[in-house]
Structure 1
Amino acid sequence: MASFTLPTLPDTPGVWGPPSLTPGSSSAASSSSVLPPEFADIPFAPFSKSDKIGRIADWNAASSGTGRDGDAGMGGGQRGGRQGRRDGPQAYGSGASNAFAYFHGDDEATFSVVDNTKTPSRGRGGLTAMGRGGRGGARGGAAGGRGGLANGRAGAQRGGRGGMRGGAAPRGGGGARRGGYRDWDKPQRTRDPSVTVGPDWEQLEEIEFTRLAKLRLEVAEGTDLASYGTLHEYDRAYDRIASVRFEKPLQPLDRLRYNPTTSDDPILADIAAKPSVASGEAGEEAGPAPTRIFVTDSILALLMCATRVVYPWDVLITKSENGDIFFDKRDGGAFDYVTVNENAADPPMEAESKDDKNAAANINTPGNLSLEATYINQNFAFQVVNTKKTHDLADGANPFHDPSSAGDADQLASAGYRYKKFDLSSSAQDPIELYVRTELDAYVPSTTKNAPPQFITIRTLNEWDSRAQGAGGAPDWRTKLDSQRGAVVATEMKNNAGKLARWAVQSVLAGADNMKLGYISRATPKDTSKHSILATQWYKPSDFAAQINVNLSNGWGIVRTIADLARKSAGEGEGSDGRAKFVLAKDPNKGTIRLYRVPLNWPAEDDEEEDEELLDEEGGAEDDE
């Protein structure tokens, strides 16, 4: 008959556990049957005597898992937390620190899923998650779900279909969103940068939008320096379009409108040619000469609203030999075109292929929509003014127009340019002056006798296809604009937050009395050549800026910070005369801006390389023929 005899243990009242094997000790022989010599050097895992020992090893128990009700999870597999026993025995040693615990380092930090293949959902659980939680911008966060605005902006800034993941609210309108099936495995939409970073560029600074949002600088109202140009009177007949039933067709007009960059402005060049003089009270010691910053209102407004802009952009910053700083744009860059739905939860996306035969997919790409919106914005401003009634500004005609050019006199568009100076100084020992050229679009005669006219800016919002991808949940304007004007405006404020903020800042900087907003829609969703004016609306620029939460002090803080980085940077890229060039560029897929030092001859050398490539291609084509 089988039997088991317990080993004899020595009496060791002063220690816990088996005695140590000391050669020559009297207990060595007796304890060898309990603890063999080959196991003598194994470290002992400490544990508390209060731990409930239920089993030697439980491989299915989660070490720190908690059930739905907050209990320790002892269940196995996928049911760990939910199936946990409320009062069951705890895992061995769970109440004490585990001496043999493995702590994960950075070995999994770079892990990413490579396989993006989509698998069909299994069972009802995956289908429900995709049906309710996985809806994109059609009706969820972009269509005005309560609390969906903040999520929509966050999703849009992450780029691509990430807007669906983080920005779309549930159909019921709640701010929180249930995860869709395999949301983690959806491919991210990536955008190309607005400018290619050269191999000889030196990155000086990288600033996240979260840091920019904390900047503040209180700046007083600007001082008017000069006013140039000729403005046409706004035609009050367009105020009578009070309903979509009285819509008017948008007419394409041929007008000449100048928008030169900062360095090409002759008025700013004259100011920069004069030496910078320190200002001070009579009898007081003159302080240091102020640093002067020269910029246009379009560039300044984008910098002040940089945290709202999603699409990539870049600004060329030049520091002259006397320390003056010029902010310039590149021809064909982000400042010459109007964006569409860049802040939507699911913004418009590029066609999968340029040879795609789907016309709707091609006409509704971000680039084509931007061209269409720019065309609409310009022609609406040309159409709603009366060219027979004009008002000349105080200091002369348009400074960019040459009257001797034949045939251009009758085609000159209504435009006025106001030059202003703002004081960005934070202390008397570091004075900074900013000179900006602002623009006005038309004037409205005053109803009071001998009172000066009121100046206005003219902008447009456009509807293209409310059912297309990227529409951002916008309602059909022809059916909702009369009865639900507020819902239409609220949707546009969410989908085009960056564009509207820039327009508001430009109007405030120019000192415009009012801002005229037009609602333009395609005559048919598939035709981008014919449009109709459905309605118009007046806004006070300051009230409109407050309505969309534009913080001017934060914008001035951003501009001052960028200027400080440029004027205080020195290095190998700086010329012998103190000149330097920088490029400030926004990351195309993240909320980050970067400042690069570039060669002094940039972008001329890039243009030469492009010309050489074109010549080579043309020469190769001739050889083939």
Structure 2
Amino acid sequence: MYNNDHGSNMLRREAVAFKSSADIQPEWNMLDQIPFSTFLKLSFSVPELEDLLLHGGLDFYDWMYDHVTLKNEGRLKRYRRWKLDDEMYLVARCEVQSVVEVNKQRSFLTLNALNEFDLKYSGVDWRQKLETQRGTILATGLKNNANKLAKWTTQALLASADLMKLVYVSRVHPRDHFNHVILAVVGYKLREFAAQINVNTSNMWGIIKPIVDFCMKLNKGKYILVKDPSKPQVRIYEVPADAFKNDYMEEPLPKDEQVQSRAEDASGGEASAVATDVEQMEATAKA
């Protein structure tokens, strides 16, 4: 932390402390660490994939989805296999959320929600600038969620999706982490978006292949691949068999502290009336 004093105005800025996604224990044995600079040089090509199984179904995308929150969702799961070498195959379950018809051709699309970052740190208010400065919003989202966007793009590429939709979501109230509102839904052509954020499939497979080769040489056990929180590198640890048994679960916000949306407030009277009718019907049935 440092202070910058200009007369009576004192600006205070707190240094951001990054934490690892896993609480590294001293008894864990680090087997290897790989700098990101090594990943940039890797490249590998795989033969044409093979679809093993399809499960589920899809509905055509309804543009009303851009403005409402759905309680039910349908997904198509595609179990696919890639040949890494003569003795090794990689099987993955990929998902697409919907399908659209463009120029009389059906195209798969994926849907992902991007949450607004804390305004105190980002300095960009989505509600005010999303319509006029959409490129700035995307750049800020990429800065704060680079790994998440790269992961979503990679998943869409593996699923052979054609389109990718990003749902820009914000909290109804800053303190309420349960109720959210959809600000906008923006669609992108997947290949163009991947090139825009520098996601390359050859480089992607080039990263996977040596990691898989390394893991296949390990003895039977439990391992974790984790990114260093402060350095551009990943590390592979051997962990005890009982690691991660006690996962942290966030306690829900008390109901009286949750902020209800306007729609919920407007329908509150009707919902209460329905509940009263149901209670009266139950009482009559018991009598």
TM-score between both structures, scaled by the size of structure 1? 0.35
1:508 aligns to 2:157 (yes or no):
yes
CA distance in 2: counterparts of 1:508 and 1:120, whole angstroms: 47
Partner of 1:345: none
Q: 1:485 to 1:225 in 2, by over 3 A?
A: same
CA distance in 2: counterparts of 1:606 and 1:493, whole angstroms: 30
Partner of 2:30: 203
CA distance in 1: counterparts of 2:4 and 2:127, whole angstroms: 39
1:161 aligns to 2:50 (yes or no):
no
CA distance in 1: counterparts of 2:152 and 2:238, whole angstroms: 30
Query: Per-residue deviation at 1:228?
Result: 0.8
Partner of 1:191: 19
Query: Per-residue deviation at 1:556?
Result: 1.2
Which of 187, 195, 199 is 1:538 aligned to?
A: 187
Which of 143, 151, 167 is 1:494 aligned to?
A: 143
Query: Per-residue deviation at 1:485?
Result: 1.8
- For the pair shown, the structure with the greater C-alpha radius of gyration is 1
Sequence identity (%): 39
CA distance in 2: counterparts of 1:515 and 1:550, whole angstroms: 14
Partner of 2:52: 225
Is the 2:110–2:161 Cα contact (8 Å) retained in structure 1?
Answer: yes
Partner of 1:440: 96
How do 1:240-319 residues align onto structure 2 when only pairs under 5 Å count? 248=67, 251=69, 253=71, 255=72
Query: Per-residue deviation at 1:418?
Result: 0.5
Partner of 2:233: 592
Query: Per-residue deviation at 1:486?
Result: 1.9
Task: Flag structure 2 segments of 5+ consecutive residues without an equivalent.
Answer: 247-287
SS of aligned partner of 1:234 = coil
CA distance in 2: counterparts of 1:555 and 1:440, whole angstroms: 20
Which of 108, 119, 125 is 1:455 aligned to?
A: 108
CA distance in 2: counterparts of 1:514 and 1:522, whole angstroms: 26
Query: Per-residue deviation at 1:546?
Result: 0.4
Query: Per-residue deviation at 1:606?
Result: 6.6
Query: Per-residue deviation at 1:494?
Result: 2.1
Partner of 1:23: none
TM-score between both structures, scaled by the size of structure 2? 0.72
CA distance in 2: counterparts of 1:440 and 1:588, whole angstroms: 31
Q: 1:431 to 1:135 in 2, by over 3 A?
A: farther
SS of aligned partner of 1:231 = coil
Partner of 1:563: 212
CA distance in 1: counterparts of 2:4 and 2:134, whole angstroms: 42
Partner of 2:267: none
CA distance in 2: counterparts of 1:513 and 1:192, whole angstroms: 33
Query: Per-residue deviation at 1:526?
Result: 4.4
CA distance in 2: counterparts of 1:235 and 1:511, whole angstroms: 21
Residues 254-290 of structure 1, C-alpha deviation per residue, up to 9 Å, x if partnerless?
Answer: x4xxxxxxxxxxxxxxxxxxxxxxxxxxxxxxxxxxx
CA distance in 2: counterparts of 1:202 and 1:444, whole angstroms: 49
Query: Per-residue deviation at 1:566?
Result: 1.4
How do 1:413-428 residues align onto structure 2 when only pairs under 5 Å count? 413-425=73-85
Q: 1:237 to 1:598 in 2, by over 3 A?
A: closer
Is the 1:464–1:525 Cα contact (8 Å) retained in structure 2?
Answer: no
1:212 aligns to 2:39 (yes or no):
yes
Query: Per-residue deviation at 1:206?
Result: 1.6
CA distance in 2: counterparts of 1:252 and 1:529, whole angstroms: 15
CA distance in 1: counterparts of 2:189 and 2:12, whole angstroms: 37
Q: 1:135 to 1:508 in 2, by over 3 A?
A: farther
Residues 459-513 of structure 1, C-alpha deviation per residue, up to 9 Å, x if partnerless?
Answer: 12232553x2x32x32x22322222222222222222211111111111110112
Query: Per-residue deviation at 1:582?
Result: 2.7
Letter of the 1:591 counterpart = P
Stretches of 4+ moved more than 6 A in 1? none
Which has the larger share of strand? 2
Query: Per-residue deviation at 1:231?
Result: 2.0
CA distance in 2: counterparts of 1:582 and 1:512, whole angstroms: 31
Partner of 1:522: 171
Is the 2:4–2:12 Cα contact (8 Å) retained in structure 1?
Answer: no
Letter of the 1:436 counterpart = A
Letter of the 2:82 counterpart = F
